[in-house]
Structure 1
Amino acid sequence: MKDLRREILNIAIPSIVSNITVPLLGLVDVAIVGHLGAASYIGAIAIGGMIFNMVYWLLGFLRMGTSGMTAQAYGAGRFGEAEQTLRRSMTVAMGMALVLIVLQKPLLGAMLWFYDAQPQVDVLVEQYFNILIWGAPAALGVNSLNGWFIGMQNARYPMTVAIVQNVTNIIASLFFVFALGWKVEGVAAGTLVAQWTGLVLAVILVQRMPQINGRRAFRPIADIPMRFFSVNRDIFLRTLCLVAVTVSFTKAGASMGEVILAVNAVLMEFYLLVSYVMDGFANAAEAISGAVMGAGDRGRFRLLLRQVFTYSGLLAVVFTLVYALFGGVFVGLLTDDAEVTAVAATYLPYAVAVPVVGFAAFILDGIFVGTTSSGYMLFSAAIAAAFYFAVYFLFSPSFQNHALWMAFLVYIGARGVVQLVLLPSVRRKIAK
């Protein structure tokens, strides 16, 4: 029991440090443009960021599929298979990045049409996108490498990459925006510089992994087995359900005007912050459950479930209390727009409820990734998305943005409930 706790914390704590830099980076971006004098800047960052989040989420199998298969190979002591998994993931990542760069103009056009924001917001989104699209190879490559590191039970390297990447991003963005006066272009340029810095560092760190031949790990590979595609297909479709909800959330907010769009962007940072902290323990569950499955140890799997749920439950309570007591202060740090701040207070209780409602889904995502239970992940996400759209379309005529936030809470809660129902089937996949 004690050893398992140590294993969980050895992965969870560095993962929390690295994960929390992601929403903190988003907070810095929102805070920078939030002090430029117009809500349209916040809206542009929200939509521009959502475009890339949507694309990279859809390709999230590059991290999750890589992590689960690598962890199982690690648990079984098959390090050659782990190296092959990295080569396959990086080959696919670079291919996907090339497709995104080639199709950048139609992709941007489709996204601007879909979001249908105000004209001044569209201009700013285009400026942001045209710079940041050139970071696609770096962003997707780092996703693959981070998944592989976690699968190899090493959370320190992703933490190192994340810290360096995000410190670089913050410094570069502040310089470009406030020293050079680039505004939205400066935020995008800062992120671009940081993405390539992160990839270079991650490649260097792979060379230090003792279990594999680092020089060979980045050679393209054509031998990609059907299991790689089937697991990643399910994760892709599952992520499509999640992206559909998130895109719908942003689009619905944009249709209510730039103030509501800005309010929802600010309050969504509450969700992102707690999700990335919870994902630290989800990453631990992911890595250890995969290794446990590779070793065929069902008893250790039960202990893992008990421990990660204890830790995540306590975190959920802490976040709820902090948000309830200091949520208004947090909003004030993100924007000094008086109208946005005033309207945000109306919807703040929904953000306060997020940690308790959603923590089970965060943790069980990690368990399902580690055991490559991708079909179950797809099913739970599809059911939850259906609940989201049903609640929103039923109540939006009368409650508008309140209905949007109610639907979102139902969505994250339903994911956890369905996954809990499916958990015994996942447990049976592990040998006694």
Structure 2
Amino acid sequence: MMLNNSKNREILQLAIPSIISNVTVPLLGLVDLSIVGHIGNEDYISAIAVGSMIFNVMYWLLGFLRMGTSGMTSQAFGREDTMECIRILVRSLTIGLAFGLLFILTQGGLEWGLLRLMNTPEASWEYVTIYFQIVIWGAPAMLGLYSLTGWFIGMQDTRTPMVVAILQNLVNILASLSLVFVLGWGIAGVAVGTLLAQWIGFLVALLGAWKRIHKVNGLQNKQGLATETWSRLVRVLSVKAAWINFFLVNKDIFLRTLCLIVVNFYFTSAGGKQGAMMLAVNTLLMTLFTIFSYVMDGFAYAGEALSGKYYGAGDKQGLHVTVRNLFQFGFLMAVVFMGIYMIGGTGFLHLLTDDNAVVEAARPYLPWACFIPVVGVTAFILDGVFIGLTDTKGMLFSTVMAMVLFFIVYFVFRDWLANYALWLAFLSFLLMRGAASMLWMRFFSTIDV
């Protein structure tokens, strides 16, 4: 039996907590979307869509804080280099918190520029502004949590991020519901609930990392602990060559993430040009992609941790078996999710909003969204493997190829198919990412998988 394989047990031990964690992550957005879907019309839904995309644009650019940290940490873990694991976390956290502070200091310019770039519908402008001006204060927490999550994954620990994610969502749900329906704060209540969840999640994760560092480093006694910790921190921050290497390793991830942002930004923007109703339709349907992506990211995270560990330890056989088994799990999940979406997609849309006009407008596009799992599964699995191996050029190559195809398909068919062309282009994008990743792995990668 496949599931009796020891490598599969390793995958599941890492993937299941990650799946639980990742399924709860989109709830931060889905809770916001559901609340505004029941307190207002498409203008409220559009405001959350634009507001969420603005922060995605800002944070996705720094996605290497999670991905790069995970890959480098897992390889150091495989080499049993504990101190290097700690140094990687300190560098990553420093960068994340610094950028978070920068976003807060420049929030005026970010708000002015991004709201216009997003083609924000005029009716939604006021609500987006309220949401942005509150949630921006969570930037350091979110970026710091990126670093911590990547570090925990690299350390073969996906349970801590799971606990943090569940806690975040409990805080978000309770706070948002109380502030909106009890105190009547409207969309400001949704934003404050999200902000509280972000900071509480970051602080809990930071405490977990602090305890683990002390445990693995044998620093159990409190005497001299602060001095020793500060001394090591100063040494880590002062090594120039290590900082240069950190950024070089993550350069491809940054550029790849920029390509993803361009596609996602244009997808939302093109929907916004068609009006608030079509923007609301695309937003609701993209939740199907969001849910599948976070489930598949659970297996991708397992791929990051295990691929990096086996590569760092020089175990080629373990690496090969891990990649093969990841694909077995991935294709199984793709078939399951496609079936679920075909059967229950319409009912899910009704859970998100009681605006029947939006649901009816979304119904013709639902079959397109149902194909997301099948066309996207390969890209998810290989992204995890590339990150674990720090073979990030493969990720960049596949995403650039896919982005080019996205725009070719859309501009060729948009006058004929309108919003259908947008969905055709998006599915083509996902399919090309997987195909180009396989091409890179087979012919261009310097690492034998």
User: Do the two structures share a fold, i.e. TM-score over 0.5?
Assistant: yes
Once the two structures are superposed, what CA deviation does each residue of 1:313-359 show, in whole Å capped at 9, x if it has no partner? Answer: 11110100000011010111111112111111010001100001101
Q: Does 1:137 align with 2:140?
A: yes
- Structure 2 match to 1:118: 121
Question: Amino acid of the residue matched to residue 363 of structure 1?
Answer: I
Q: Could you say which residue in structure 2 is the equivalent of 1:211?
A: 216
CA offset digits 1:280-325 (Å, max 9, x no partner): 0000001000001101111111101111111111111010000001
Classify 1:200/1:186 alpha carbon distance in 2 versus 1 (closer, same or farther; 3 Å). Answer: same
Match in the other structure for 1:159: 162
CA distance in 2, matches of 1:366, 1:129: 31
1:247 aligns with 2:265: yes
User: Of 66, 70, 74, which residue of structure 1 is paired with 2:69?
Assistant: 66
Aligned to 1:260: 278
- Give every structure 1 segment of 4 or more consecutive aligned residues whose post-TM-superposition deviation is greater than 4 Å: 425-428
d(CA) in 1 for partners of 2:245, 2:400: 22
- After superposition, the Cα gap between the structure-2 partners of 1:182 and 1:426, relative to the gap in structure 1 and judged at 3 Å, is farther
Q: Equivalent of 1:389, from 398, 403, 407? A: 407
What amino acid does structure 2 have at the position aligned with 1:6? R
Equivalent residue, structure 2, for 1:418: 436
Q: Quote the residue 1:191 is aligned against.
A: 194
TM-score, normalised on structure 1?
A: 0.97
Structure 2, gaps ≥5 residues long: 220-225
Change (3 A) 1:176 1:372: same
Whole-angstrom distance in 2 between the partners of 1:373 and 1:8: 20
Considering only aligned residues, what root-mean-square deviation do their CA atoms show, in Å?
1.6
Deviations 1:18-77 (A, max 9, x none): 000012232221111011131100000000000001111110000000000000000011
Task: State whether residues 59 and 143 of structure 2, in contact with CA within 8 Å, keep that contact through their aligned partners in structure 1.
Answer: yes
1:325 matches 2:328: no
- Whether the 8 Å CA contact 1:296–1:430 is kept in 2: the answer is no
Rounded Cα–Cα distance in structure 1 between residues aligned with 2:269 and 2:309: 40
Is 1:56–2:59 an aligned residue pair?
Answer: yes
What letter matches 1:310 in structure 2? Q
**Identity of counterpart residues, as a percentage?**
48
- Judged with a 3 Å threshold, the aligned counterparts in structure 2 of structure 1 residues 64 and 194 are, in CA distance, closer, same or farther, namely same
Q: Displacement of 1:367 after TM fit?
A: 0.4
1:426 deviates by 7.6
- Is the 2:68–2:253 contact (alpha carbons within 8 Å) kept by the matching residues of 1? yes
Query: Paired residue for 2:22?
Result: 19
For 1:352, the equivalent position in structure 2 comes to 370
Matched, 1:338 2:338: no
Aligned pairs for 1:69-88 (under 5 A) are: 69-88=72-91
Following the alignment from structure 1 to structure 2, what is the Cα–Cα distance between the partners of residues 80 and 132?
A: 35
Classify the secondary structure of the residue corresponding to 2:371. helix
Shift of 1:2: 2.5
- The question of whether the paired residues in 1 share the 8 Å contact of 2:394 and 2:445 is answered with no
Q: Structure 2 matches for 1:250-329, cutoff 5 A?
A: 250-329=268-347
Correspondence for 1:202: 205
Matched position secondary structure for 2:211: coil
Give the partner amino acid of 1:26. G
Contact 1:26/1:269 (CA < 8 Å) preserved in 2? Answer: no
- Measure the CA separation in 1 of the matches of 2:428 and 2:416: 18
Contact preservation (8 Å) 1:75, 1:291: yes
Is 1:40 the counterpart of 2:43? The answer is yes
**How far is 1:398 from its partner?**
1.4
Report the Cα offset of residue 427 of structure 1.
6.7
Cα distance, 1:226 vs structure 2: 2.5
Quick one: which amino acid aligns to residue 38 of structure 1?
N
Tell me how far apart the structure 1 counterparts of residues 372 and 255 of structure 2 sit (CA, whole Å).
Answer: 24
Name the aligned partner's letter for residue 187 of structure 1: V
How far apart, CA to CA, are the structure 2 residues paired with 1:384 and 1:6? 33
Tell me the number of residue pairs that the alignment of Structure 1 and Structure 2 aligns. 431
Distance in structure 2 (CA, Å) of the matches to 1:213 and 1:278:
36
Question: How many Å separate the matches in 2 of 1:24 and 1:207?
Answer: 27
Question: Aligned to 2:152, which of 131, 141, 149?
Answer: 149
Contact 1:373 1:426 in 2 (8 A): no
Asked if 2 retains the 8 angstrom alpha-carbon contact of 1:387 and 1:411, the reply is yes
The alpha-carbon deviation at position 425 of structure 1 amounts to: 5.6
How far apart, CA to CA, are the structure 2 residues paired with 1:82 and 1:118?
Answer: 46
Q: Which amino acid aligns with 1:42?
A: I
* Structure 1 contact 368–374 (Cα < 8 Å) conserved: yes
Question: Is the Cα contact below 8 Å between 1:207 and 1:213 reproduced in 2?
Answer: no
2:304 aligned partner, one-letter code: E
